[in-house]
Structure 1
Amino acid sequence: MARKRRGIPIHGWLNIDKDAGLSSAQVVGRVKRIMNAAKAGHAGTLDPFATGILPIALGEATKTVSYITDDSKEYRFTARWGEKRNTDDIEGEIEATSDIRPTREDILNILPSFTGTIRQYPPAFSAIKINGERAYKLARAGQDIDMPEREVRIESLSLIEIVDTEHAIFEVTCGKGTYIRSLARDIAVKLGTVAHLSALRRIRVGPFLEMDAISLDKLAKLWQCPAEFEGLLPITTALDDIPALAVTEPQAIRLRHGNDVAAPNQADGFVCAMDGNIPIGIAKIEADRMYPVRIFNL
Protein backbone atom coordinates (compact mmCIF):
# COMPACT_ATOMS: atom_id res chain seq x y z
CA MET A 1 0.00 0.00 0.00
CA ALA A 2 1.41 3.38 -1.00
CA ARG A 3 2.36 5.68 1.87
CA LYS A 4 0.11 8.73 2.13
CA ARG A 5 1.92 11.95 1.27
CA ARG A 6 2.19 14.38 4.17
CA GLY A 7 0.92 17.93 3.83
CA ILE A 8 -2.00 19.46 1.99
CA PRO A 9 -2.52 19.39 -1.78
CA ILE A 10 -1.68 22.81 -3.24
CA HIS A 11 -1.50 23.19 -7.01
CA GLY A 12 0.21 26.05 -8.83
CA TRP A 13 3.44 28.01 -9.21
CA LEU A 14 5.39 30.37 -6.98
CA ASN A 15 7.85 32.96 -8.28
CA ILE A 16 10.47 32.88 -5.52
CA ASP A 17 13.37 35.33 -5.23
CA LYS A 18 16.13 33.10 -3.84
CA ASP A 19 18.58 34.48 -1.28
CA ALA A 20 22.29 33.80 -1.50
CA GLY A 21 23.55 30.90 0.59
CA LEU A 22 20.61 28.59 -0.05
CA SER A 23 20.59 25.64 -2.43
CA SER A 24 17.59 25.21 -4.72
CA ALA A 25 16.61 22.09 -2.78
CA GLN A 26 16.69 24.04 0.48
CA VAL A 27 14.32 26.62 -1.00
CA VAL A 28 11.90 23.85 -2.00
CA GLY A 29 12.09 22.45 1.53
CA ARG A 30 11.34 25.82 3.10
CA VAL A 31 8.39 26.44 0.76
CA LYS A 32 6.93 23.05 1.70
CA ARG A 33 7.30 23.79 5.41
CA ILE A 34 5.85 27.31 5.17
CA MET A 35 2.82 26.19 3.16
CA ASN A 36 2.57 22.63 4.52
CA ALA A 37 2.48 21.57 0.87
CA ALA A 38 2.35 17.89 0.02
CA LYS A 39 4.47 18.14 -3.11
CA ALA A 40 6.87 20.71 -4.56
CA GLY A 41 9.80 21.00 -6.95
CA HIS A 42 11.86 23.68 -8.68
CA ALA A 43 12.41 24.57 -12.31
CA GLY A 44 16.07 25.22 -13.01
CA THR A 45 18.79 24.94 -10.37
CA LEU A 46 20.48 28.06 -9.05
CA ASP A 47 23.94 27.83 -7.46
CA PRO A 48 23.90 28.52 -3.69
CA PHE A 49 25.84 31.80 -4.06
CA ALA A 50 23.43 33.04 -6.75
CA THR A 51 20.22 34.98 -6.16
CA GLY A 52 17.07 35.60 -8.13
CA ILE A 53 14.21 33.80 -9.81
CA LEU A 54 13.58 30.20 -8.78
CA PRO A 55 10.16 29.02 -9.99
CA ILE A 56 8.61 26.56 -7.54
CA ALA A 57 5.99 24.09 -8.75
CA LEU A 58 3.43 22.83 -6.25
CA GLY A 59 1.29 19.71 -6.57
CA GLU A 60 0.13 18.97 -10.11
CA ALA A 61 2.17 21.91 -11.43
CA THR A 62 5.23 19.65 -11.05
CA LYS A 63 4.00 17.89 -14.20
CA THR A 64 4.74 21.08 -16.17
CA VAL A 65 8.28 21.73 -14.87
CA SER A 66 9.93 20.61 -18.13
CA TYR A 67 8.14 23.39 -20.02
CA ILE A 68 9.79 26.00 -17.78
CA THR A 69 13.27 24.48 -17.79
CA ASP A 70 13.18 24.58 -21.59
CA ASP A 71 12.34 28.32 -21.61
CA SER A 72 14.94 31.03 -22.11
CA LYS A 73 16.45 32.69 -19.04
CA GLU A 74 18.04 36.04 -18.26
CA TYR A 75 20.92 36.64 -15.87
CA ARG A 76 22.84 39.62 -14.53
CA PHE A 77 26.39 38.67 -13.59
CA THR A 78 29.60 40.29 -12.43
CA ALA A 79 32.96 39.11 -13.75
CA ARG A 80 35.93 39.63 -11.46
CA TRP A 81 39.03 39.95 -13.67
CA GLY A 82 42.47 38.67 -12.75
CA GLU A 83 41.59 35.58 -10.70
CA LYS A 84 40.78 32.10 -11.97
CA ARG A 85 39.08 29.91 -9.38
CA ASN A 86 38.51 26.17 -9.49
CA THR A 87 34.73 26.59 -9.22
CA ASP A 88 34.66 29.56 -11.65
CA ASP A 89 32.84 31.55 -8.94
CA ILE A 90 33.57 33.42 -5.73
CA GLU A 91 33.35 30.29 -3.57
CA GLY A 92 36.34 28.50 -5.12
CA GLU A 93 40.07 28.48 -4.56
CA ILE A 94 42.36 30.66 -6.65
CA GLU A 95 44.18 28.64 -9.31
CA ALA A 96 45.77 31.37 -11.42
CA THR A 97 46.06 35.14 -11.64
CA SER A 98 46.63 37.71 -14.37
CA ASP A 99 47.60 41.39 -14.41
CA ILE A 100 45.62 42.04 -17.60
CA ARG A 101 42.47 44.13 -17.17
CA PRO A 102 40.28 44.57 -20.26
CA THR A 103 39.01 47.97 -21.34
CA ARG A 104 35.42 48.75 -22.35
CA GLU A 105 36.48 48.70 -25.99
CA ASP A 106 38.18 45.33 -25.55
CA ILE A 107 35.02 43.86 -24.05
CA LEU A 108 32.61 45.30 -26.60
CA ASN A 109 34.77 44.00 -29.47
CA ILE A 110 34.55 40.36 -28.36
CA LEU A 111 30.92 40.14 -27.23
CA PRO A 112 29.54 39.30 -30.72
CA SER A 113 31.62 36.11 -30.72
CA PHE A 114 29.60 34.92 -27.72
CA THR A 115 26.14 35.29 -29.24
CA GLY A 116 24.20 32.74 -31.24
CA THR A 117 24.99 29.04 -30.90
CA ILE A 118 28.33 28.64 -29.13
CA ARG A 119 30.25 25.77 -27.56
CA GLN A 120 31.34 25.71 -23.94
CA TYR A 121 32.81 23.35 -21.36
CA PRO A 122 30.69 23.20 -18.19
CA PRO A 123 32.50 23.92 -14.92
CA ALA A 124 34.14 20.96 -13.21
CA PHE A 125 32.10 21.85 -10.13
CA SER A 126 28.69 21.15 -11.69
CA ALA A 127 25.94 18.55 -11.42
CA ILE A 128 26.69 16.97 -14.79
CA LYS A 129 27.22 13.21 -14.52
CA ILE A 130 30.55 11.74 -15.59
CA ASN A 131 30.45 7.93 -15.77
CA GLY A 132 27.49 7.93 -13.43
CA GLU A 133 29.02 10.30 -10.85
CA ARG A 134 28.28 14.00 -10.33
CA ALA A 135 31.16 16.10 -11.62
CA TYR A 136 31.35 18.21 -8.46
CA LYS A 137 31.86 15.10 -6.32
CA LEU A 138 34.76 14.00 -8.51
CA ALA A 139 36.22 17.52 -8.47
CA ARG A 140 36.01 17.71 -4.68
CA ALA A 141 37.85 14.38 -4.51
CA GLY A 142 40.69 15.94 -6.51
CA GLN A 143 40.12 13.89 -9.66
CA ASP A 144 40.95 15.28 -13.09
CA ILE A 145 37.72 15.57 -15.07
CA ASP A 146 37.36 15.61 -18.84
CA MET A 147 34.19 17.69 -19.13
CA PRO A 148 32.23 17.12 -22.36
CA GLU A 149 31.87 20.19 -24.58
CA ARG A 150 28.30 21.20 -25.41
CA GLU A 151 26.40 23.58 -27.65
CA VAL A 152 24.34 26.31 -25.99
CA ARG A 153 22.31 29.21 -27.30
CA ILE A 154 23.09 32.82 -26.33
CA GLU A 155 20.31 35.09 -27.55
CA SER A 156 21.86 38.34 -26.33
CA LEU A 157 24.86 39.45 -24.27
CA SER A 158 25.41 43.03 -23.11
CA LEU A 159 27.97 44.93 -21.06
CA ILE A 160 25.94 46.87 -18.48
CA GLU A 161 28.61 48.59 -16.40
CA ILE A 162 32.32 48.66 -15.71
CA VAL A 163 32.30 49.05 -11.95
CA ASP A 164 36.07 49.44 -11.65
CA THR A 165 39.19 47.94 -13.19
CA GLU A 166 38.47 44.64 -11.41
CA HIS A 167 34.75 44.17 -12.11
CA ALA A 168 32.33 44.36 -15.04
CA ILE A 169 28.58 43.68 -15.01
CA PHE A 170 26.85 41.88 -17.88
CA GLU A 171 23.35 40.73 -18.77
CA VAL A 172 22.66 37.65 -20.87
CA THR A 173 19.61 35.95 -22.33
CA CYS A 174 20.30 32.30 -22.97
CA GLY A 175 18.80 28.89 -23.62
CA LYS A 176 18.68 25.69 -21.62
CA GLY A 177 21.95 24.24 -20.31
CA THR A 178 24.04 27.43 -20.42
CA TYR A 179 26.56 27.83 -17.61
CA ILE A 180 27.12 31.50 -16.78
CA ARG A 181 30.28 30.60 -14.85
CA SER A 182 31.68 29.08 -18.05
CA LEU A 183 30.59 32.12 -20.05
CA ALA A 184 32.47 34.52 -17.77
CA ARG A 185 35.52 32.25 -17.79
CA ASP A 186 35.55 32.03 -21.60
CA ILE A 187 35.02 35.78 -22.06
CA ALA A 188 38.11 36.36 -19.94
CA VAL A 189 40.15 33.86 -21.95
CA LYS A 190 39.12 35.62 -25.16
CA LEU A 191 40.34 38.87 -23.60
CA GLY A 192 43.70 37.34 -22.70
CA THR A 193 43.09 37.21 -18.97
CA VAL A 194 41.28 35.12 -16.35
CA ALA A 195 38.10 35.70 -14.33
CA HIS A 196 35.43 34.22 -12.12
CA LEU A 197 31.90 35.20 -11.15
CA SER A 198 31.70 37.42 -8.09
CA ALA A 199 27.91 37.82 -8.39
CA LEU A 200 25.10 36.08 -10.26
CA ARG A 201 21.42 36.93 -10.30
CA ARG A 202 18.70 35.33 -12.43
CA ILE A 203 16.22 38.00 -13.48
CA ARG A 204 13.83 36.00 -15.67
CA VAL A 205 12.82 32.39 -16.31
CA GLY A 206 10.30 32.15 -19.13
CA PRO A 207 7.16 33.98 -17.90
CA PHE A 208 8.56 34.45 -14.35
CA LEU A 209 9.82 38.02 -13.94
CA GLU A 210 12.05 39.64 -11.32
CA MET A 211 9.56 42.42 -10.53
CA ASP A 212 6.88 39.86 -9.55
CA ALA A 213 9.07 37.62 -7.37
CA ILE A 214 8.68 37.25 -3.60
CA SER A 215 11.21 36.28 -0.97
CA LEU A 216 10.81 33.34 1.37
CA ASP A 217 10.37 35.76 4.28
CA LYS A 218 7.55 37.53 2.46
CA LEU A 219 5.95 34.20 1.58
CA ALA A 220 6.00 33.20 5.25
CA LYS A 221 4.25 36.44 6.25
CA LEU A 222 1.65 36.36 3.47
CA TRP A 223 0.84 32.66 3.96
CA GLN A 224 -0.36 33.38 7.48
CA CYS A 225 -3.65 34.25 5.71
CA PRO A 226 -3.82 31.65 2.90
CA ALA A 227 -7.29 32.75 1.81
CA GLU A 228 -5.91 36.20 0.99
CA PHE A 229 -2.68 35.00 -0.65
CA GLU A 230 -2.42 36.17 -4.26
CA GLY A 231 1.05 34.88 -5.08
CA LEU A 232 0.02 31.38 -6.18
CA LEU A 233 0.04 31.28 -9.98
CA PRO A 234 -2.05 28.80 -11.99
CA ILE A 235 -0.68 25.53 -13.32
CA THR A 236 -1.06 26.90 -16.85
CA THR A 237 1.59 29.60 -16.14
CA ALA A 238 4.18 27.16 -17.47
CA LEU A 239 2.14 26.49 -20.60
CA ASP A 240 2.02 29.99 -22.10
CA ASP A 241 3.44 28.75 -25.39
CA ILE A 242 0.94 25.88 -25.67
CA PRO A 243 -2.52 26.75 -27.05
CA ALA A 244 -5.54 26.04 -24.87
CA LEU A 245 -8.33 23.95 -26.37
CA ALA A 246 -11.80 23.66 -24.84
CA VAL A 247 -13.33 20.19 -24.79
CA THR A 248 -16.81 18.90 -24.03
CA GLU A 249 -17.70 17.23 -20.76
CA PRO A 250 -17.76 13.72 -22.32
CA GLN A 251 -14.36 14.37 -23.92
CA ALA A 252 -13.00 15.61 -20.58
CA ILE A 253 -14.10 12.39 -18.88
CA ARG A 254 -12.43 10.25 -21.56
CA LEU A 255 -9.18 12.23 -21.42
CA ARG A 256 -9.06 12.01 -17.62
CA HIS A 257 -9.32 8.22 -17.94
CA GLY A 258 -6.42 8.11 -20.40
CA ASN A 259 -8.47 7.70 -23.58
CA ASP A 260 -8.11 9.60 -26.83
CA VAL A 261 -10.93 11.66 -28.32
CA ALA A 262 -11.82 13.08 -31.71
CA ALA A 263 -10.28 16.45 -32.59
CA PRO A 264 -11.44 17.23 -36.13
CA ASN A 265 -10.08 20.28 -37.96
CA GLN A 266 -7.37 20.87 -35.33
CA ALA A 267 -3.71 21.35 -36.23
CA ASP A 268 -1.31 18.65 -35.09
CA GLY A 269 0.72 19.50 -32.00
CA PHE A 270 0.48 19.90 -28.25
CA VAL A 271 -2.43 21.64 -26.52
CA CYS A 272 -3.66 22.24 -22.99
CA ALA A 273 -7.10 20.64 -22.86
CA MET A 274 -9.53 22.75 -20.84
CA ASP A 275 -12.80 21.81 -19.14
CA GLY A 276 -14.17 25.32 -18.73
CA ASN A 277 -11.57 27.13 -16.60
CA ILE A 278 -10.05 23.90 -15.29
CA PRO A 279 -7.00 22.49 -17.11
CA ILE A 280 -7.41 18.76 -17.78
CA GLY A 281 -3.85 18.22 -18.92
CA ILE A 282 -1.42 18.31 -21.79
CA ALA A 283 -2.54 16.46 -24.88
CA LYS A 284 -1.18 15.82 -28.35
CA ILE A 285 -3.27 16.17 -31.48
CA GLU A 286 -2.35 13.93 -34.37
CA ALA A 287 -4.45 13.05 -37.43
CA ASP A 288 -7.67 14.51 -35.97
CA ARG A 289 -7.30 12.62 -32.67
CA MET A 290 -6.34 14.03 -29.29
CA TYR A 291 -4.18 11.83 -27.06
CA PRO A 292 -3.58 12.57 -23.33
CA VAL A 293 0.08 13.08 -22.44
CA ARG A 294 0.02 14.43 -18.83
CA ILE A 295 -3.29 14.55 -16.98
CA PHE A 296 -3.74 16.83 -13.95
CA ASN A 297 -5.47 15.30 -10.94
CA LEU A 298 -7.43 18.36 -9.85
Structure 2
Amino acid sequence: MKKTTLTFTALAVSAVLSSAAFAKDLKVATSAQVGSLQYNTTQYFTEVANEEFKKQGIDYNLKFFGAAQLGKDKDVQQKLKLGTVDLALLTSTLPTHVSEMALFELPFLVSDRDHVAKIEEQVFWPYIAPAAEKKGYKVIGFWENGFRNITNAQRPVNTPEDLDGLKIRTPNSSWRVKMFKNWGANPTPMSFSEVFIGLQTGVIDGQENPYTNIYAAKLHEVQGYLSVTNHVYTPAYLTAGARHYGKFPDEVRAVLEDSAKQAQQWGYQEATKLEGELKDKLVAGGMKLNVANRQAFVDASQPIYDDFVKNVNNGEAMLNKAMATAN
Protein backbone atom coordinates (compact mmCIF):
# COMPACT_ATOMS: atom_id res chain seq x y z
CA MET A 1 0.00 0.00 0.00
CA LYS A 2 2.80 2.31 0.90
CA LYS A 3 4.59 1.58 -2.39
CA THR A 4 1.40 2.28 -4.37
CA THR A 5 0.89 5.60 -2.57
CA LEU A 6 4.45 6.65 -3.28
CA THR A 7 4.10 5.68 -6.93
CA PHE A 8 0.85 7.64 -7.27
CA THR A 9 2.43 10.69 -5.59
CA ALA A 10 5.44 10.53 -7.88
CA LEU A 11 3.20 10.37 -10.94
CA ALA A 12 1.11 13.31 -9.70
CA VAL A 13 4.22 15.44 -9.09
CA SER A 14 5.56 14.47 -12.51
CA ALA A 15 2.27 15.51 -14.14
CA VAL A 16 2.31 18.90 -12.39
CA LEU A 17 5.92 19.54 -13.38
CA SER A 18 5.17 18.50 -16.95
CA SER A 19 2.18 20.85 -17.08
CA ALA A 20 4.20 23.71 -15.59
CA ALA A 21 6.96 23.12 -18.15
CA PHE A 22 4.45 23.24 -21.00
CA ALA A 23 2.66 26.37 -19.77
CA LYS A 24 4.54 29.28 -21.31
CA ASP A 25 4.43 33.03 -20.75
CA LEU A 26 5.88 35.03 -23.64
CA LYS A 27 7.17 38.56 -23.06
CA VAL A 28 6.08 41.23 -25.55
CA ALA A 29 7.92 44.56 -25.35
CA THR A 30 7.73 48.03 -26.82
CA SER A 31 9.49 51.25 -25.88
CA ALA A 32 6.50 53.25 -27.13
CA GLN A 33 4.75 55.50 -24.64
CA VAL A 34 1.32 54.80 -23.19
CA GLY A 35 -1.38 56.10 -25.53
CA SER A 36 0.73 56.03 -28.72
CA LEU A 37 -0.37 54.05 -31.76
CA GLN A 38 2.53 51.61 -31.36
CA TYR A 39 1.68 50.99 -27.71
CA ASN A 40 -2.01 50.53 -28.43
CA THR A 41 -1.45 48.25 -31.42
CA THR A 42 0.90 46.03 -29.43
CA GLN A 43 -1.62 45.85 -26.61
CA TYR A 44 -4.38 44.98 -29.09
CA PHE A 45 -2.22 42.23 -30.60
CA THR A 46 -1.55 40.80 -27.14
CA GLU A 47 -5.26 40.67 -26.32
CA VAL A 48 -6.23 39.08 -29.65
CA ALA A 49 -3.51 36.43 -29.41
CA ASN A 50 -4.35 35.54 -25.80
CA GLU A 51 -8.01 35.19 -26.64
CA GLU A 52 -7.14 32.84 -29.50
CA PHE A 53 -4.77 30.78 -27.34
CA LYS A 54 -7.58 30.35 -24.82
CA LYS A 55 -10.11 29.52 -27.53
CA GLN A 56 -7.86 26.83 -29.01
CA GLY A 57 -6.79 25.45 -25.64
CA ILE A 58 -3.13 26.34 -26.27
CA ASP A 59 -1.33 26.76 -22.96
CA TYR A 60 0.55 29.92 -23.93
CA ASN A 61 0.06 33.49 -22.72
CA LEU A 62 1.48 36.84 -23.83
CA LYS A 63 2.57 39.34 -21.18
CA PHE A 64 2.76 42.92 -22.44
CA PHE A 65 5.46 45.34 -21.26
CA GLY A 66 5.18 48.86 -22.71
CA ALA A 67 6.93 52.19 -22.26
CA ALA A 68 10.44 50.65 -22.26
CA GLN A 69 9.79 48.55 -19.14
CA LEU A 70 12.12 45.86 -20.51
CA GLY A 71 14.72 48.28 -21.82
CA LYS A 72 15.42 50.64 -24.71
CA ASP A 73 15.17 49.39 -28.29
CA LYS A 74 18.90 48.67 -28.56
CA ASP A 75 18.80 46.52 -25.41
CA VAL A 76 15.62 44.74 -26.45
CA GLN A 77 17.09 43.83 -29.83
CA GLN A 78 19.86 41.97 -28.05
CA LYS A 79 17.36 40.31 -25.70
CA LEU A 80 15.42 39.02 -28.71
CA LYS A 81 18.48 37.15 -29.93
CA LEU A 82 19.12 35.80 -26.44
CA GLY A 83 15.48 34.75 -26.10
CA THR A 84 14.96 36.67 -22.84
CA VAL A 85 12.36 38.80 -24.65
CA ASP A 86 10.11 36.84 -27.00
CA LEU A 87 8.55 39.56 -29.16
CA ALA A 88 9.21 43.27 -29.51
CA LEU A 89 7.95 46.14 -31.61
CA LEU A 90 10.96 47.81 -33.25
CA THR A 91 11.12 50.77 -35.62
CA SER A 92 13.96 53.09 -36.57
CA THR A 93 16.78 51.29 -34.75
CA LEU A 94 16.52 48.06 -36.75
CA PRO A 95 17.82 49.47 -40.09
CA THR A 96 21.17 50.12 -38.42
CA HIS A 97 21.58 46.33 -38.15
CA VAL A 98 19.59 45.33 -41.25
CA SER A 99 20.62 47.78 -43.95
CA GLU A 100 17.87 46.69 -46.36
CA MET A 101 15.32 48.15 -43.93
CA ALA A 102 16.80 51.56 -44.65
CA LEU A 103 14.48 51.67 -47.66
CA PHE A 104 11.98 53.24 -45.25
CA GLU A 105 14.62 55.78 -44.18
CA LEU A 106 14.60 57.36 -47.64
CA PRO A 107 12.91 60.77 -47.34
CA PHE A 108 9.66 61.28 -49.24
CA LEU A 109 9.72 57.80 -50.79
CA VAL A 110 6.29 56.76 -49.46
CA SER A 111 3.32 58.72 -50.76
CA ASP A 112 0.40 57.26 -48.77
CA ARG A 113 -0.84 54.08 -47.06
CA ASP A 114 -1.94 52.50 -50.34
CA HIS A 115 1.65 52.88 -51.47
CA VAL A 116 2.84 51.34 -48.18
CA ALA A 117 0.69 48.25 -48.84
CA LYS A 118 2.24 47.77 -52.29
CA ILE A 119 5.77 48.17 -50.94
CA GLU A 120 5.00 45.69 -48.18
CA GLU A 121 3.79 43.07 -50.65
CA GLN A 122 6.33 43.57 -53.44
CA VAL A 123 9.46 44.68 -51.59
CA PHE A 124 9.29 44.10 -47.85
CA TRP A 125 8.36 40.41 -47.68
CA PRO A 126 10.35 39.27 -50.76
CA TYR A 127 13.54 41.26 -50.04
CA ILE A 128 13.70 42.85 -46.60
CA ALA A 129 12.18 40.28 -44.24
CA PRO A 130 14.54 37.50 -45.46
CA ALA A 131 17.52 39.85 -45.03
CA ALA A 132 16.41 40.54 -41.44
CA GLU A 133 16.10 36.83 -40.75
CA LYS A 134 19.68 36.25 -41.92
CA LYS A 135 20.72 38.80 -39.29
CA GLY A 136 18.82 36.89 -36.60
CA TYR A 137 15.51 38.78 -36.58
CA LYS A 138 12.19 37.20 -37.56
CA VAL A 139 9.60 39.83 -38.51
CA ILE A 140 6.06 38.54 -38.03
CA GLY A 141 4.14 41.83 -38.19
CA PHE A 142 4.42 44.88 -40.43
CA TRP A 143 2.64 47.66 -38.54
CA GLU A 144 2.59 51.44 -38.53
CA ASN A 145 4.61 54.01 -36.67
CA GLY A 146 3.60 56.71 -39.12
CA PHE A 147 4.55 59.78 -41.15
CA ARG A 148 7.09 61.87 -39.27
CA ASN A 149 7.06 65.63 -38.72
CA ILE A 150 9.52 68.03 -37.09
CA THR A 151 8.98 69.98 -33.88
CA ASN A 152 11.33 72.44 -32.20
CA ALA A 153 11.43 75.27 -29.70
CA GLN A 154 13.15 77.92 -31.84
CA ARG A 155 11.40 78.64 -35.15
CA PRO A 156 9.21 77.27 -37.95
CA VAL A 157 11.02 74.89 -40.28
CA ASN A 158 10.07 75.58 -43.88
CA THR A 159 13.26 74.58 -45.70
CA PRO A 160 16.42 72.65 -44.77
CA GLU A 161 18.15 75.97 -44.12
CA ASP A 162 15.84 76.52 -41.15
CA LEU A 163 17.38 73.46 -39.49
CA ASP A 164 20.85 75.00 -39.53
CA GLY A 165 22.45 74.53 -36.10
CA LEU A 166 19.36 73.07 -34.44
CA LYS A 167 19.99 70.09 -32.17
CA ILE A 168 17.38 67.63 -33.43
CA ARG A 169 16.84 64.36 -31.60
CA THR A 170 16.79 61.33 -33.86
CA PRO A 171 16.39 57.65 -33.03
CA ASN A 172 19.58 55.61 -32.75
CA SER A 173 19.54 55.17 -36.52
CA SER A 174 22.62 55.88 -38.59
CA TRP A 175 20.41 56.64 -41.58
CA ARG A 176 18.28 59.22 -39.77
CA VAL A 177 21.45 60.89 -38.49
CA LYS A 178 22.78 61.10 -42.07
CA MET A 179 19.50 62.60 -43.23
CA PHE A 180 19.41 65.44 -40.72
CA LYS A 181 23.12 66.12 -41.01
CA ASN A 182 22.64 66.40 -44.77
CA TRP A 183 19.85 68.92 -44.16
CA GLY A 184 22.12 71.05 -41.97
CA ALA A 185 20.85 70.13 -38.50
CA ASN A 186 22.91 68.86 -35.58
CA PRO A 187 21.32 65.38 -35.16
CA THR A 188 21.48 63.97 -31.66
CA PRO A 189 20.58 60.25 -31.28
CA MET A 190 18.63 59.62 -28.10
CA SER A 191 16.19 57.05 -26.76
CA PHE A 192 12.60 58.26 -26.99
CA SER A 193 12.08 57.80 -23.27
CA GLU A 194 14.64 60.59 -22.69
CA VAL A 195 13.24 63.07 -25.22
CA PHE A 196 10.81 65.02 -23.03
CA ILE A 197 13.49 65.82 -20.42
CA GLY A 198 15.99 66.59 -23.18
CA LEU A 199 13.62 69.14 -24.70
CA GLN A 200 12.58 70.54 -21.36
CA THR A 201 16.19 71.15 -20.28
CA GLY A 202 17.40 72.42 -23.65
CA VAL A 203 19.81 69.53 -24.25
CA ILE A 204 18.07 69.27 -27.62
CA ASP A 205 16.07 71.89 -29.54
CA GLY A 206 13.66 69.60 -31.34
CA GLN A 207 12.78 66.15 -32.59
CA GLU A 208 10.85 64.35 -35.35
CA ASN A 209 8.03 61.86 -34.90
CA PRO A 210 4.51 60.96 -36.02
CA TYR A 211 1.68 62.93 -34.39
CA THR A 212 0.70 59.97 -32.22
CA ASN A 213 4.13 59.85 -30.54
CA ILE A 214 4.33 63.62 -30.15
CA TYR A 215 0.93 63.79 -28.48
CA ALA A 216 1.29 60.68 -26.31
CA ALA A 217 4.61 61.94 -24.93
CA LYS A 218 3.14 65.44 -24.36
CA LEU A 219 5.93 67.06 -26.35
CA HIS A 220 3.63 69.98 -27.14
CA GLU A 221 4.21 71.07 -23.54
CA VAL A 222 7.90 71.74 -24.29
CA GLN A 223 7.82 72.55 -28.04
CA GLY A 224 6.40 75.63 -29.69
CA TYR A 225 6.62 74.80 -33.40
CA LEU A 226 5.17 71.92 -35.41
CA SER A 227 6.41 71.77 -39.00
CA VAL A 228 4.49 69.38 -41.24
CA THR A 229 7.10 67.64 -43.38
CA ASN A 230 5.92 64.01 -43.59
CA HIS A 231 9.56 63.39 -44.47
CA VAL A 232 9.64 59.67 -43.64
CA TYR A 233 7.03 56.96 -43.24
CA THR A 234 8.23 54.60 -40.53
CA PRO A 235 6.83 51.09 -40.24
CA ALA A 236 6.84 49.27 -36.92
CA TYR A 237 8.08 45.69 -36.99
CA LEU A 238 6.75 43.04 -34.62
CA THR A 239 9.93 41.03 -34.28
CA ALA A 240 11.29 37.90 -32.63
CA GLY A 241 14.72 36.37 -32.42
CA ALA A 242 14.78 34.06 -35.46
CA ARG A 243 16.36 31.08 -33.70
CA HIS A 244 14.17 31.45 -30.62
CA TYR A 245 11.00 31.83 -32.70
CA GLY A 246 11.76 28.65 -34.61
CA LYS A 247 11.42 26.68 -31.36
CA PHE A 248 7.77 27.67 -30.84
CA PRO A 249 5.17 25.01 -31.72
CA ASP A 250 3.55 25.42 -35.14
CA GLU A 251 0.16 26.22 -33.63
CA VAL A 252 1.66 28.98 -31.49
CA ARG A 253 3.38 30.59 -34.47
CA ALA A 254 0.12 30.40 -36.43
CA VAL A 255 -1.77 32.26 -33.70
CA LEU A 256 0.93 34.93 -33.40
CA GLU A 257 1.12 35.55 -37.14
CA ASP A 258 -2.66 35.68 -37.62
CA SER A 259 -3.02 38.01 -34.63
CA ALA A 260 -0.28 40.24 -36.07
CA LYS A 261 -2.26 40.59 -39.31
CA GLN A 262 -5.39 41.53 -37.38
CA ALA A 263 -3.42 44.10 -35.39
CA GLN A 264 -2.02 45.58 -38.59
CA GLN A 265 -5.49 46.33 -39.93
CA TRP A 266 -6.67 47.66 -36.59
CA GLY A 267 -3.63 49.94 -36.40
CA TYR A 268 -4.17 51.33 -39.89
CA GLN A 269 -7.79 52.16 -39.07
CA GLU A 270 -6.73 53.88 -35.84
CA ALA A 271 -3.97 55.82 -37.60
CA THR A 272 -6.33 57.13 -40.28
CA LYS A 273 -8.85 58.19 -37.65
CA LEU A 274 -6.32 59.87 -35.35
CA GLU A 275 -4.13 61.71 -37.84
CA GLY A 276 -6.18 64.88 -38.26
CA GLU A 277 -7.58 64.72 -34.75
CA LEU A 278 -4.14 64.68 -33.10
CA LYS A 279 -2.79 67.47 -35.29
CA ASP A 280 -5.69 69.65 -34.15
CA LYS A 281 -5.04 68.72 -30.51
CA LEU A 282 -1.38 69.69 -30.80
CA VAL A 283 -2.32 73.09 -32.21
CA ALA A 284 -4.97 73.51 -29.51
CA GLY A 285 -2.23 72.69 -27.01
CA GLY A 286 -0.29 75.75 -28.09
CA MET A 287 1.89 74.66 -31.01
CA LYS A 288 2.27 76.91 -34.05
CA LEU A 289 1.81 74.86 -37.22
CA ASN A 290 3.36 75.41 -40.63
CA VAL A 291 3.53 73.25 -43.74
CA ALA A 292 7.13 72.92 -44.91
CA ASN A 293 8.34 73.39 -48.49
CA ARG A 294 8.39 69.74 -49.59
CA GLN A 295 10.32 70.34 -52.80
CA ALA A 296 13.13 72.13 -50.97
CA PHE A 297 13.61 69.06 -48.77
CA VAL A 298 13.30 66.67 -51.73
CA ASP A 299 16.02 68.58 -53.59
CA ALA A 300 18.33 68.32 -50.59
CA SER A 301 17.79 64.57 -50.17
CA GLN A 302 19.43 63.06 -53.25
CA PRO A 303 22.67 62.11 -51.40
CA ILE A 304 20.64 59.82 -49.12
CA TYR A 305 19.27 57.94 -52.13
CA ASP A 306 22.73 57.71 -53.69
CA ASP A 307 24.11 56.28 -50.45
CA PHE A 308 21.33 53.68 -50.30
CA VAL A 309 21.85 52.50 -53.89
CA LYS A 310 25.62 52.34 -53.47
CA ASN A 311 25.86 50.66 -50.06
CA VAL A 312 22.77 48.46 -49.57
CA ASN A 313 22.47 44.98 -51.03
CA ASN A 314 19.78 45.00 -53.76
CA GLY A 315 19.38 48.72 -53.02
CA GLU A 316 18.76 49.80 -56.60
CA ALA A 317 16.32 46.95 -57.31
CA MET A 318 14.33 47.62 -54.14
CA LEU A 319 14.23 51.37 -54.76
CA ASN A 320 13.10 50.98 -58.35
CA LYS A 321 10.36 48.54 -57.38
CA ALA A 322 9.19 50.76 -54.51
CA MET A 323 9.04 53.81 -56.75
CA ALA A 324 7.25 51.89 -59.51
CA THR A 325 4.50 50.83 -57.10
CA ALA A 326 3.60 54.50 -56.54
CA ASN A 327 2.10 54.66 -60.04
TM range (shorter): under 0.3
With normalisation by structure 1, the TM-score equals: 0.27
Higher relative contact order (CA 8 A, sep 6+): 2
| Structure (1 or 2) with the greater helix fraction | 2
| Structure (1 or 2) with the greater strand fraction | 1
